[in-house]
Structure 1
Amino acid sequence: MRWQGRRGSRNIEDRRRMSGGRAGGIGIGGLLAILAIGYFLGVDVTPMLTGGPGIGTSGGGELTEADRRAGEFVSVTLADTEEIWAEIFSRELGQRYEPATLVLFKAATQSPCGGASGATGPFYCPLDRKAYLDTQFFTTLAQRLEAKGDFAAAYVVAHEIAHHVQNELGILGEANKIRQGSSEAQSNAISVRIELQADCLSGVWARHAGERFGSLEPGDIGEAMNAARQIGDDTLQRNAGRRPMPHTFTHGTSEQRQRWFAQGYESGSVAACDTFSANAL
């Protein structure tokens, strides 16, 4: 992905220098192992990262060169999403796009949707219209989940911003309202459709970003497709030593995530991403 030297976004809230919750002297190897356990099993391992219950504010200390580079990368990727979605909203939807803020943190921080930690993975909070990302997740993505490459990381950012797109369109609020009155299995099924639509919208962004900025390099789409495969519910459960249980899936299978990303990329259209009307995912 060609991103160096390009415009970054102003909608970054960098909490990585703030004092508070800490990783309690855990080495990088131990930290990655703990993060992987939490991500694979859906377990909140925040107490293991902070040394006690609850979640403090992020980070503390000086930013490393890797931290700075990750922050620059996220800023450029976010700027790309802002430009592309503003254009798509205007041309295809006849609406004005209001960009999200992306919060960068280390170890742990707070959000109106609850505590955020490296163990929870990146997420979007519709209550404050912000996406939350511990850039250490990129290391977890590459080393533990075997999804390497800068476009794999860009796919992660694009997916969270796609949830903001859903929120802007009123889709996320309506879907979550229906989930509240549903059984656990039904709620999970709706969650899968939300996540697969975000994958499709990520593909739409990738198509337009490549055309507008010339940012895609050979192999980039393959990196995103591999990332989608590695974070499918069935693959994560197998890698955690568990038998895949479809009724517990909340994001979709590896095959589904790849297929919907590809559909968005090939079509380049929001209209092609209606997972809620699809008879088969």
Structure 2
Amino acid sequence: MRFNPKARLDTSRVRDSGRGSGGGMGGGGMRIPIPGGAKAGSSLGGLLVLVLFLVLTQCVGGGQGGLPLPDTSLDTSRVAEADSDRYANCQTGADAESDVDCARVAVENSLTDYWGEALPAQADMQFRPVQVMRTFGGAVGTGCGQATSQVGPFYCPPDEGIYLDTTFFDQVLQQQLGGPAGEFVEPYVLAHEYGHHIQNVMGTMGQVRTQRGPESDAVRLELQADCYAGMWTRNATGTDDQSGVPLILELSEEDINQAIAAAKSVGDDRIQDQTTGRVNPAEWTHGSAEQRQRWFMVGYQEGSLQACDTFSASQL
């Protein structure tokens, strides 16, 4: 992935909370510990599956009657919260080339520019960007409740924010799940989460009624977010900064392979096999490794919202 050194970066929606403390995920204060070195049949295996229920997904209500529709009384307070100035030096594409934090800003800018054009053009809907993409360490307060770094990256609909502790990629995705290393792994994850934001804007989250199972609405929601990530990847080199200067000059075949490998590493069947030694499709929440890879490629190859309509697909 190669950024344009002449591009200007917009840090207005990217924040960092520094080190937080205490708390758990959701209003009930649930704490989900990160398991380490789980072997087949171990009790830690089940914890890892629980963690991955929220990893690479949105923080949404899990009650009956489906997921919440977009809230018209948007909470924008997260944008104004205290910031550590982690991204203060991220000004140009040259900074993105040399600093992983600034690369994160450039990816957010690219996602915002892409969907700002694609959503009105393909769905005839008004686009609004995520209110905040916030990194943190330890714990962070969100519109979905207090979240710890042990949850992994997630999207929270009430404040339309993406949250992540960046240590997740090394400590969980690579070390515990055997996922790939590489500079395009995080952009794939961010694109997946931004896909959930697009689902929130479009009202797709309100279609979710069934939470588990290979044909469940929850799985369809996740596979669609993978497909949306593929859509952005296909068009990333066509995105611009606020002055119309290209943001991303090149994506390589290796970048695409890293995204596919990351999608594979978080497939439900692969996680279950790694952690419990058996595969139980009835408990799937995100889709199999094959499905996640395939729907990412559908978005990458087809590049349209219509092609990514997993809710109408007869076969996932």
Q: How would you bin the TM-score normalised by the shorter chain?
A: 0.7 to 0.9
Distance 1:210 1:86 in 2: 15
Structure 2 gap segments, 5+ residues each: 24-33, 39-43, 53-82, 87-97, 240-247
What SS does the corresponding residue of 2:306 show, helix, strand or coil? helix
Alpha-carbon distance in 2 for matches of 1:110, 1:38: 26
Q: Which amino acid aligns with 1:203?
A: G
Query: Deviation per CA, 1:179-232, whole angstroms, max 9, x where unpaired?
Result: 2xx5x5469811100000000000001001034433312311100000000010
Shift of 1:154: 0.5
Counterpart for residue 92 of structure 1: 122
- CA deviation after TM superposition for structure 1 residue 74, in Å: 1.6
Partner of residue 42 from structure 1, selected from 50, 56, 60:
50
- Specify the code of the residue in structure 2 equivalent to 1:78: E
Q: Work out the CA distance in 2 between the residues paired with 1:165 and 1:234.
A: 26
Q: Match of 1:150, SS?
A: coil
Instruction: Kindly indicate whether the alpha-carbon contact (under 8 Å) linking 2:213 and 2:285 is maintained by their aligned counterparts in 1.
Output: no
Which ranges of structure 1 fall in alignment gaps of 5 or more residues?
23-30, 45-59
SS of residue in 1 equivalent to 2:307: helix
Match of 1:200 in 2: 227
Whether 1:109 aligns to 2:140 is yes
Give, in angstroms, the shift of residue 115 of structure 1.
2.6
What's the secondary structure of 2:222's corresponding residue? helix
1:33 aligned to 2:36? yes
Give CA deviations for 1:80-129 in whole Å, capped at 9, x if unaligned.
Answer: 10000001023222222110021111121122223312221111111111
Q: Does 1:256 align with 2:291?
A: yes
Aligned residues of 2:135 and 2:163 also touching (Cα < 8 A):
yes
**Pairing partner for 1:12 from 9, 14, 20:** 14
Corresponding residue number in structure 2 for 1:49: none
Please state which structure has a larger fraction of its residues in helix: 1
Normalised by the length of structure 1, the TM-score is 0.79
Report the AA paired with residue 248 of structure 1: E
Match of 1:83 among 99, 105, 113: 113
Equivalence for 2:244: none
* Percent sequence identity over aligned pairs: 36
> Counterparts of 1:264 and 1:221 in 2: how far apart (Å)?
12
Please point out which of 150, 166, 176 is paired with 1:135. Answer: 166
Aligned 8 A contact 1:8 1:77 in 2: no
Distance 1:76 1:164 in 2: 18
Deviates more, 1:190-199 or 1:93-102: 93-102
Matching residue of 1:191: 218
Determine if contact 1:188/1:248 at 8 Å carries over to the other structure. Answer: no
**Equivalent residues of 1:40, 1:239 under 8 A apart:** no
With the length of structure 2 as denominator, give the TM-score of the two structures: 0.70
1:204 and 1:269 in contact (8 A); partners too: yes
Q: Can you list the C-alpha shifts for 1:109-168, whole angstroms capped at 9, x where unaligned? A: 122223312221111111111111111112132333322111111100000010000001
**Inter-CA distance 157–39: structure 2 relative to 1 (3 Å threshold):** farther
Contact 2:20/2:136 (CA < 8 Å) preserved in 1? no
The root-mean-square deviation of aligned C-alpha atoms, in Å, is 3.2
1:34/1:83 CA distance change after superposition, 3 Å: farther
Which structure ranks higher in relative contact order (CA pairs < 8 Å, sequence separation ≥ 6)? 2
Q: 1:210 to 1:98 in 2, by over 3 A?
A: same
SS of 2:36's equivalent in the other structure is helix
Query: Which residue, 272, 275, 280 being the options, matches 2:310?
Result: 275
Amino acid across the alignment from 2:21: G
2-side partners of 1:76 and 1:169: how far apart?
Answer: 24
SS, match of residue 128 in structure 1: coil
Q: How many residues are aligned here? A: 250
Q: Separation in 2 of the partners of 1:39 and 1:225?
A: 25
